[in-house]
Structure 1
């Protein structure tokens, strides 16, 4: 590490109607003033449905080490909800990864105040998880009490599978007498998945060719 500079990791993230260019400009301007060298840039559109491991941010955190700095425009850019944000901050604090934000002016690091915050973040995330679980259970219990049948009706098959949309390609391969195992390798699925799909979605003609039901 050079004495006049600090290594940083820029993380602009966007939501609908919120381009990353503005955040990147803010982070660049901030880093120039603070004499921070940005080693890596990670840009993403935050999805509420993704786990942290599946996000670009999760991949970045795996590469970061103690005393590295994660720089973002504001804490809200770390996730779409409180649970996601608290989880990211808790991991950073526990691993002594510093989190700096520009608009919020947070400087979270390895000091005692940050350790206290890490505990609070972890506790908040746990409470949020429990509340979500409890609300889900209560909603399901209410639906059940109202006579609503939960889940897929018995005997009904899922309308969408891993091979949905691949019918034409599967038919072409079957017409060429390609085996289920070979089709599975081509499409990146298990052999039994192909066999089940063919059995449920296709019928065999008298000439031996497969056609869609």
Structure 2
């Protein structure tokens, strides 16, 4: 299957220019588009929340996605690399017209595959390292990590910890639970469970 992928970021932009470019390219290369994917959405949105995400789930080996340029796939390098990595894993080809980019079985694609894998591993290591450093810093500052032990330390109590006096005073003043929940910035059900648990203590 050959897919033509078109994305514009606002209603003011037209898909016709990209469609013309892709059709013109296919005519020269003697190719025929089997299906079009057109969407009006920002390229900063995750591809999983776009039509492109649905396309990536159904593509198969030797399918071809043609787009006007790489920036149509995503607006940042890591997103584009992730998309291309998915296509590479599924042995799907990606061609762009303006960039003259070809993702396939050539040496360039194999080099990219190595780069994608390496960058993903580096990113995972950086995240892990940042997390460890943040936890170590908090520990050195005397901050107790995690929630306090004990069955009374429910998620509801944890959210409203330190607001017992305020809630009691508001309840005594006949303020509705809905308003109290709004004041405390929690869900009304969270507040109700907290009140029951507090009264049981």
Same fold (TM over 0.5): yes
Following the alignment from structure 1 to structure 2, what is the Cα–Cα distance between the partners of residues 43 and 29?
Answer: 17
Structure 1: runs of 5+ lacking an equivalent: 1-6, 146-152, 160-194, 201-213
Instruction: Report what 1:59 is aligned to.
Output: 54
Relative contact order: is structure 1 or structure 2 higher (C-alpha 8 Å, sep ≥ 6)?
A: 2
Q: Compared with structure 1, are the counterparts of its residues 46 and 118 closer, same or farther at alpha carbon in structure 2 (3 Å cutoff)?
A: farther
**Are 1:117 and 2:112 an aligned pair?**
yes
Instruction: Report what 1:14 is aligned to.
Output: 8
Match of 1:73 among 54, 59, 68: 68
**What are the residue-to-residue correspondences of 1:90-109 with 2, within 5 Å?**
90-109=85-104
Q: Secondary structure at the match of 1:36?
A: coil
Q: Secondary structure at the match of 1:103?
A: coil
Q: Compared with structure 1, are the counterparts of its residues 49 and 139 closer, same or farther at alpha carbon in structure 2 (3 Å cutoff)?
A: farther
Instruction: Report what 1:149 is aligned to.
Output: none
TM-score (norm 1): 0.57
Post-superposition shift, 1:40?
A: 1.0
**Would the aligned equivalents of 1:86 and 1:122 in 2 still touch at CA under 8 Å?**
no
Deviation per CA, 1:113-142: give whole Å up to 9, x if none. 312212212323444566578779989989
Provide the aligned C-alpha RMSD in A.
3.5
Q: Compared with structure 1, are the counterparts of its residues 135 and 77 closer, same or farther at alpha carbon in structure 2 (3 Å cutoff)?
A: farther
Q: Compared with structure 1, are the counterparts of its residues 112 and 47 closer, same or farther at alpha carbon in structure 2 (3 Å cutoff)?
A: closer
**What are the residue-to-residue correspondences of 1:19-168 with 2, within 5 Å?**
19-44=14-39, 45-50=41-46, 52-128=47-123, 154-155=159-160, 156-158=184-186
In our comparison, the structure showing a higher alpha carbon Rg is 2
Q: Compared with structure 1, are the counterparts of its residues 133 and 93 closer, same or farther at alpha carbon in structure 2 (3 Å cutoff)?
A: same
Instruction: Give the structure with the larger helix fraction.
Output: 2
**Would the aligned equivalents of 2:43 and 2:73 in 1 still touch at CA under 8 Å?**
no
Following the alignment from structure 1 to structure 2, what is the Cα–Cα distance between the partners of residues 72 and 98?
Answer: 11
Count of residue pairs the alignment pairs up: 151
